[in-house]
Amino acid sequence: MFYPGEVVDDRYVVQELLGEGASGEVYRVQDGETGPDLALKIQPPRFCEDTAWYQESSDEIHNEVSIGEQLRTVPGLVRALPGGYHAGRAYYVMRHVSGRDLVDFTEREGAVSSVRTAAIVAQLCGTVGELHSQGWVHRDIKLENTLIASDGQVWLIDLGSAVRPGSEIHLAATPGYTAPEVVQGAAASVASDVFSLGCLLFKLAIMNLPYLNKTGKRLTPIPPFPDDLRPALEALDPVLRAVGLHMIAWDPADRPQSTNVVAGELKRLLPGPATPPRPGREPDPVLRYWLAEYRNDS
């Protein structure tokens, strides 16, 4: 672990630890050459891991940078920028978003209102849709990989699992968010990203996932949500509930076939061009959505 004031690679001055996990540590750093704050992700220190495993971990960091360079025009995507090595550990840097991830957001907010949920998911639809249009699927859409900035803008992070649609590659599964066909061995697709977005929608709106611990290798469909969550489902705006259930259909052919379709359905819940929303509690994803969607039309 690095402490405030330490310098990584003779350039990045550590300000604070933002998070850590099996894949590495993330710090807020100041770029000693250009000045602004950035986020820096670095491999965890090596202890007893074998050389092959640690090299694979390093390769994953460099792969994320390579993917990020191909997706530099995607709005709302926090992509990895070239880094290097420090004390034998691979690292990259990325934009620092002043805000918090959606796990922390929901822990503070509780269940998110239908309109705020719609605005968050609609913003993500724009980012994920552009990712799809450039020939990639994210494969790991979840609260932990989504940030909401203080101005209400929603950002998608972590391209470490991104692949080309149809790629035969090892399973990258987060329990409760991964589409059942992917868990059963199918390749990731636009439809599986739509499924994950639908799971995120319900995790925001009712603080539960539809198929948690139920997306194992089953051959037959199962209904989403236990009976004790039915009252929470019924309390949702009917438009949001219908959109969400459409997104998490067990059969990928029954889901919306693009995030553009999802965003179009969610628009029914959100203020239109002639009805700008009043500023709400910060962060305000509804106002941010409206400004991004309509301010150029005025």
What domains sit in the chain, N to C, each tagged with a CATH number? 7-95 (3.30.200.20), 99-297 (1.10.510.10)
What is the pTM for the complete model shown? 0.92
At 146, is the pLDDT very low, low, confident or very high (cuts 50, 70, 90)? very high
100, exposed or middle or buried, with CB in 10 Å at 0-12, 13-18, 19+?
A: middle
Pick the closest to residue 156 from 197, 122, 115, 127 (CA basis): 127
What DSSP designation does 39 have? E
Share of the chain above pLDDT 70, in %: 94
pLDDT for residue 297: 47
Query: Is 267 marked as a binding-site residue?
Result: no
pLDDT for residue 50: 76
11-67 residue pLDDT tens: 999 999 998 887 889 999 999 998 889 999 999 988 777 788 788 889 989 999 999
pLDDT for residue 215: 52
What residues contact 263, with CB distance under 8 A and at least 6 apart? 122, 125, 126, 129
- 113 forms beta bridges with none
Looking at the predicted structure, is the pLDDT value of residue 298 above 60? no
**Rounded CA separation 218/152 (Å):** 39
188, exposed or middle or buried, with CB in 10 Å at 0-12, 13-18, 19+?
A: buried
236-282 residue pLDDT tens: 999 999 999 999 999 999 999 999 999 999 999 999 999 999 988 99
